[in-house]
């Protein structure tokens, strides 16, 4: 399966999940936006989401803050999005992460399928190197 096919599956699964949760979903007309999906709740509040499709490798799924545009890696413009929706086909689940959940200066984060204990000190604050995949996450 190529990158475009995985991206389409991720988009479909995220729209399916959010629609079941009562959100309205809007897609851009072109394929080069930092935003893959705009969602609106019942109170008309909107969120701009970048969608990722990630497989677990050795119990970890890594989300890097970049996209591939015309075959080239491009840094993610964090000012253009509110967060990420990550489709994890190995567990058939979508997880949602606000950009506020990620420490400033971080270039990627990991989702761990099972519990772990790795942490790192950033600005004298202990931060988990991964996010546990534990509960049915609802969009922030």
Q: Cα–Cα distance between 22 and 12 in angstroms, integer?
A: 15
Q: Indicate the pTM of the whole model.
A: 0.78
Q: Cα–Cα distance between 22 and 11 in angstroms, integer?
A: 16
Strand 60-64 to 66-69 pairing: unpaired
Domain boundaries, the chain: 3-132
Residue 70: pLDDT over 80: no
- Residues in contact with 4: Cβ distance below 8 Å, sequence separation at least 6, in sequence order: none
Task: Quote the pLDDT of residue 105.
Answer: 74
CATH number of 3-132: 3.40.1350.10
Give 139: exposed, middle or buried? Use CB within 10 Å, 0-12, 13-18, 19+: buried
Q: How confident is the model over 10-45, as pLDDT tens digits?
A: 999 999 999 998 999 999 988 778 899 999 989 999
Residue 133: pLDDT over 50: no
Task: Quote the pLDDT of residue 23.
Answer: 92
In the structure, what pLDDT confidence band is assigned to residue 122 with cuts at 50, 70 and 90?
A: very low
């Amino acid at each position: 399966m190529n990158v475009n096919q995985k991206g389409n599956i991720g988009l479909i699964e995220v729209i399916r999940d959010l629609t079941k949760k009562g959100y309205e979903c809007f897609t851009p007309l072109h394929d080069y936006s930092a935003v893959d999906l705009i969602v609106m709740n019942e109170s008309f509040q909107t969120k701009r989401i970048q969608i990722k499709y990630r497989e677990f490798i050795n119990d970890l799924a890594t989300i890097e803050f970049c996209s591939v545009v015309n075959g080239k890696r491009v840094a993610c413009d964090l000012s253009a999005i509110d967060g990420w929706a990550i489709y994890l086909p190995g567990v058939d689940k979508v997880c949602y992460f606000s950009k506020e959940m990620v420490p400033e200066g971080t270039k990627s984060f990991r989702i761990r399928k099972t519990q772990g204990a790795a942490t790192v000190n950033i600005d004298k604050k202990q931060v988990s190197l991964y996010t546990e995949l534990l509960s049915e996450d609802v969009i922030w």
